[in-house]
Amino acid sequence: MTIVNGEEVVNNKQVILREYVSGYPKESDMYVTTGTVKLKVPEGSNAVLVKNLYLSCDPYMRNRMKPATESYIGSYTQGSPIDGHGVGKVLDSAHPKFKQGDLVWGVTGWEEYSLITQTDYLFKIEHTDVPLSYYTGILGMPGMTAYGGFYEVCSPKKGEYVFISAASGAVGQLVGQFAKLLGCFVVGSAGSKEKVDLLKNKFGFDEAFNYKEEPDLDAALKRYFPEGIDIYFENVGGKTLDAVLLNMRAHGRISVCGMISQYNLDELEGVKNLVLIIAKRIRMQGFIAFDYYHLYPKFLDTVLSGIREGKIVYVEDIAEGLENGPAALVGLFSGRNVGKQVVMVARE
C-alpha cells in the first residue's frame, strides 16, 4: 500500500484497449498497465469495490471494440480498461445489498480491483459448492443466455431436431444439454476434432461435426438432419445461417444469440436465403440474456441441481493471470479455446 495525495492506494493492474479494432483483434490491440486504486468506495455513493477473481471472455465484447457499436451496452473507451462479466470479492460497499466479504458476479473491469457503480445486474453468490469461475459462465450471464434463448425463445418440444453452432462454447454446451434433457435430437458444430469429441462424448450431443472439414455445409446439415431442423440456436451467422435456412422445417425457430463470424468483418456478409422464412413460416428472434434475468432464481435452481446430480457438465478453459487476458480474449475469435474461456485474476 502506498500513499498518493494523502490517500492510501494499492497498485491495480489493468487491461487497456489501445485503440478501436478493425478485422480480427490482436493481443497488441490491448496492453497491460499498472495504475493505482483506493480500496474504499466514495462516500455518499451506492458503489461496491471488488477484488476481481475471474473474468469472462465473451464474443459480444468484440463489438464493443468498435467505435460505432452494434452492442447494447456501448463501445469501450480507447485508452481505458475494458470491462465484462466477472466474479469478485467485495472489499468495501456502500450498497445495502452487498457487504465486505460477499462474493458477487456481474459486470466488472478487466483489472485487479474495480469500483462497480452500476449494481443493477450485480448478483450475490450464495452457493459456493461449485467452482467460483462457473459464475462467469454456466451459472452467470452465458448460462442465462442459454436458458432464456432456449426455453423462452425457441419454444422447444420433446423430439424436435435441434442444431447448435459454436456448440462447445459457454452457451452452446449448455443449450445442447438442455435440449437433450428435454428429449430433443441434438447436433452441434464446432471448429476442431477435440471440440467435436467433447460434444459427443462429454456433453451427450447425438452428433457433432467440425465445420472446417465440411466444404459444403448444406450437404453436412442434410446428412445430420435428413428430416430438417426444427430449432437452430444461432451463434455464428453468415454462411452457416444461409445453409441452415435451406434445411429448416416448416414452423422452425431460430434463436439468434450471436453471429461471431461477422464480428471481425469490416463488410458484413449478406444472408441470401432469408426469403425461405416465408414459405417455411420461420420465426427468427434476436435476444440478450438481460431480458431474462428475472428468471435467474429458477434458472439457478435448475442448473445447480443438474450440476450436483451430474446431469449437466461444464468445460472451461482457464487462462491464469490478468496479463494473459488479452491473449485469452483474442483466442476466442480464432476458436483457440476449448470450452468456456475464463481469465483467472486471483483465486480468492
Binding site for its own copies (CB under 8 A): 70-72, 237, 241, 256-259, 262, 267-288, 291
Q: Which three cell numbers stand for residue 265?
A: 468483418
Q: How far is the CB of 26 from its own copies (least distance, A)?
A: 22
Q: Which is nearer to its own copies, 20 or 287 (CB)?
A: 287
C-alpha 101/C-alpha 99 separation (Å) is 6
Q: Which is nearer to its own copies, 37 or 256 (CB)?
A: 256
Q: How far is the CB of 225 from its own copies (least distance, A)?
A: 19
Inter-residue contact 37 to 60 (CB < 8 Å): no
As a three-state string, the secondary structure of 98-135 is CCCCCEEEEEEECECEEEECCCCCCEECCCCCCCHHHH
Q: How far is the CB of 262 from its own copies (least distance, A)?
A: 5
Name the residue with cell 483489472: 111
**Beta bridge partners of residue 104, listed in sequence order:** 88, 124
Q: Which is nearer to its own copies, 60 or 163 (CB)?
A: 60
Q: Which is nearer to its own copies, 104 or 248 (CB)?
A: 248
Q: How far is the CB of 53 from its own copies (least distance, A)?
A: 28
Cα radius of gyration (the chain): 21
Q: How far is the CB of 248 from its own copies (least distance, A)?
A: 10
Q: How far is the CB of 343 from its own copies (least distance, A)?
A: 24
Q: How far is the CB of 180 from its own copies (least distance, A)?
A: 25
Classify residue 51 as left (phi > 0), alpha (psi -120 to 50) or beta. beta
What pairing do the DSSP bridges indicate for beta strands 185-190 and 248-256?
unpaired
Q: Which is nearer to its own copies, 131 or 149 (CB)?
A: 149
Torsion 260-261-264-265 (CA) sign:
negative
Q: Which three cell numbers stand for residue 36?
A: 493505482
Q: How far is the CB of 156 from its own copies (least distance, A)?
A: 17
C-alpha 189/C-alpha 175 separation (Å) is 13
* Phi (first) and psi of residue 266, to 5 degrees: -75, -35
Q: How far is the CB of 195 from its own copies (least distance, A)?
A: 23
C-alpha 278/C-alpha 287 separation (Å) is 21
Residue 128 CA from chain centroid, whole number: 21
Q: DSSP code of 52?
A: E
C-alpha 258/C-alpha 148 separation (Å) is 14
Cβ neighbours, 10 Å, residue 41: 20
For 70, residues 6+ apart whose C-beta sits below 8 A from its C-beta are 63
Q: Which is nearer to its own copies, 39 or 271 (CB)?
A: 271
Q: Which is nearer to its own copies, 210 or 264 (CB)?
A: 264
Q: Which is nearer to its own copies, 124 or 281 (CB)?
A: 281
Q: Which is nearer to its own copies, 93 or 262 (CB)?
A: 262
